[in-house]
Amino acid sequence: MSAREAGSALLGEFAPELLAEPGVAFGRMFESEGLSVRGKLFAFVSSHGDLVVKLDADRIEESGLDNMVMRGRPMREWAVVPIEGGVGRWREVAREAYAFVDSITPR
């Protein structure tokens, strides 16, 4: 099983909980499926199998998470949650990412 497949399986363990929230659906970003709210992605699995989430930049720093790096540049509102964090940590951070993106996405 590839790293992305392992991460997707981990996401699949709690995705139904988030999909039950209003406006949440699967979407695609960076060649990976992820979760979106009203069309705005908030969590997806990277090619390395880690969870990538959209959070407020200050919250990323407070959480001790690393920013996602794209083309050598840290993405200010995107954080990486290592697969080693397990389903509990992923669930917690994905729920926080959902709340953040839900709050900034027009209804």
- Please give the Cα distance from 46 to 80 (Å, whole number): 9
Closest CA to 30 of 71, 1, 85: 71
pTM of the model: 0.94
Which fold does the domain 3-104 belong to in CATH?
A: Aspartate Aminotransferase, domain 1 (3.90.1150)
Helices and strands: H and E segment counts in the chain? 3, 6
- One digit per residue, the tens of pLDDT, for the chain of length 107 reads 899 999 999 999 999 999 999 999 997 776 778 999 999 999 999 999 999 999 999 999 999 999 999 999 999 999 999 999 899 999 999 999 999 999 999 98
- The domain ranges of the chain are 3-104
Pairing between strand 51-54 and 32-37? unpaired
Give the contacts of 6 (CB within 8 A, at least 6 positions apart). Answer: 49, 83
